[in-house]
Structure 1
Amino acid sequence: MSPEAVAAERVYRGLKQVILEGRFAPGTMLVVTSLAREFGTSIAPVRDSMQRLVGERLLDLHIGGGFQMPRLTVDGLTDLYSWHQDLIKLALKFRRSGTSSSDYQPAFPSIDDNDTHAVAEATAELFLHIASYSGNPEHVEAVRSVGERLHATRIRETKLSNRLHELERIWALARSGPSRDAQEAVRRYHRRRLRQVSRLIPSEDQV
């Protein structure tokens, strides 16, 4: 890999990480020159990275030029949670025979419920593992994509208590319980969030 390609990949990964962590509020315009200085690179790798992130729907092209964080609306967040729920329930419903969970060691037993970043990462990890039950890599990528778009919101889910207990319940049922019980746990997990959508959006961005 050429030095230019290495630099571009480094910028892409670094920019994606700070976006997922919620550094930029919904609707924020990203300044290419400032980010280039921060990452110690020229403008070109930053623009290329932003274009990749537009393709992943983690950034939007601004109508007047430039790049901005997608705006977060009640309807939009509702759709994201609902789509994520549908994907996970499908993976459980169509779990491929012989799928093993023995190689997966969830992180949530060892983290603090107040460590919201760690909880968000453990949530993404668990649902990606469940997505793999279908045996279809496209299913996994769909869950990864919507999970990344939900990540900053998951960090703001501090308003919801017992998040780790929810994950433990889902995991216990997904691992060894009846499919219908696991799907019900997933439905309850999402129902809690769908009821709180307006509280999970920064007040200035509610529509």
Structure 2
Amino acid sequence: MPNNDIVPLVNSISEQIYLSLKRKILTGELAPGTRLLVLEIAGQFQVSQAPVREALERLKQEGLITGVRNKGSVVSNITSKEIRDLFILREIIEGYAVRTTMPTLTEADYAELEAMIQRMEEAVEQNDTLRILELDMDFHGFFYKHCDNQAILELWNHMRTKVMRFMAISNRHHTTEMLADWHRLLIDALRIRCFRSEKHYLM
């Protein structure tokens, strides 16, 4: 696992390690079943084991890695059923979030959503897959934050990272150039209060 990432400025070494490993897992550079050895990672970053363990614990809490006896930490496996179940759940709760938020949207809200799409287009030009996925999650997360349902928001926050990973693995972002167009179609549907069209563009 060569450490040639350009890591953004962050507050701690542990955060840098966490972001680097998370990026590699989400983009598939670290495949399911890959062992993450504390000593090896510490050597790559030239740090003690403590910040590495902190980073691995965060990844474990997000479900990206698991602890396996006699192996330590490994990248979590994913089954097709897990992917299917998660997207069914997302369709249910996101449909509610969008329908609930739709009547309350203001021009300022639409401007915020449009700004997200523009940033997504920039990420597409840079071929930054992880950034595209993050912005896609931000766009859909807007509706969870504004649907006035704390339980649904907490559920989304818990599943967001898994959704990103499953989208990457299942190629749900396979036509990234079209993502901005899809999101603009959703905005158009919301503007005319088109309930049936809105559901088609949830993913």
Task: Tell me if TM exceeds 0.5.
Answer: yes
Amino acid corresponding to residue 135 of structure 2 in structure 1: A
Match of 1:62 in 2: 68
Residue 9 of structure 1 and its aligned partner are, at CA, apart by: 3.2
Asked whether the 8 Å contact 2:185–2:201 carries over to 1, the reply is yes
After TM superposition, the structure 1 = structure 2 runs for residues 30-41 of structure 1, keeping only pairs within 5 Å, are 30-41=36-47
Asked whether the 8 Å contact 1:120–1:151 carries over to 2, the reply is yes
Q: In structure 1, which of residues 170, 175, 185 is the aligned counterpart of residue 186 of structure 2?
A: 170
Structure 1 residues 27 and 67, CA gap change in structure 2 (3 angstroms): same
Q: Structure 1 vs Structure 2: percent identity of aligned residues?
A: 19
Stretch of structure 1 that moved more, 50-59 or 110-119:
110-119
Q: Extract unaligned runs of 5+ from structure 2.
A: 1-10
Match of 2:159 in 1: 146
What is the count of residue pairs matched by the alignment?
A: 183
Stretch of structure 1 that moved more, 131-140 or 83-92:
131-140
Secondary structure of 1:67's match? strand
Work out whether 1:27 is the aligned partner of 2:40. Answer: no
Q: In structure 2, which of residues 112, 123, 148 is the aligned counterpart of residue 103 of structure 1?
A: 112
Match of 2:5 in 1: none
Separation in 1 of the partners of 2:43 and 2:191? 47
Structure 1 residues 58 and 138, CA gap change in structure 2 (3 angstroms): farther
After TM superposition, the structure 1 = structure 2 runs for residues 1-207 of structure 1, keeping only pairs within 5 Å, are 6-95=12-101, 98-100=104-106, 101=109, 102-104=111-113, 105=115, 106=117, 107-112=119-124, 115=127, 117=129, 118-156=131-169, 157=171, 160-161=174-175, 163-164=178-179, 165-174=181-190, 176-186=192-202, 189=203
Separation in 1 of the partners of 2:68 and 2:96? 35
Q: Extract unaligned runs of 5+ from structure 1.
A: 190-207
Residue 175 of structure 1 and its aligned partner are, at CA, apart by: 5.1
Deviation digits for residues 109-146 of structure 1, max 9, x if unmatched?
A: 44548936043233222111222221345534432442
Match of 1:199 in 2: none
Residue 74 of structure 1 and its aligned partner are, at CA, apart by: 1.0
Residue 65 of structure 1 and its aligned partner are, at CA, apart by: 4.4
TM-score (norm 2): 0.73
Asked whether the 8 Å contact 1:30–1:69 carries over to 2, the reply is yes
Separation in 2 of the partners of 1:31 and 1:41? 13
Higher relative contact order (CA 8 A, sep 6+): 1
Kindly report the root-mean-square deviation, in angstroms, between the aligned alpha carbons of the 2 structures. Answer: 3.0
Amino acid corresponding to residue 166 of structure 1 in structure 2: W
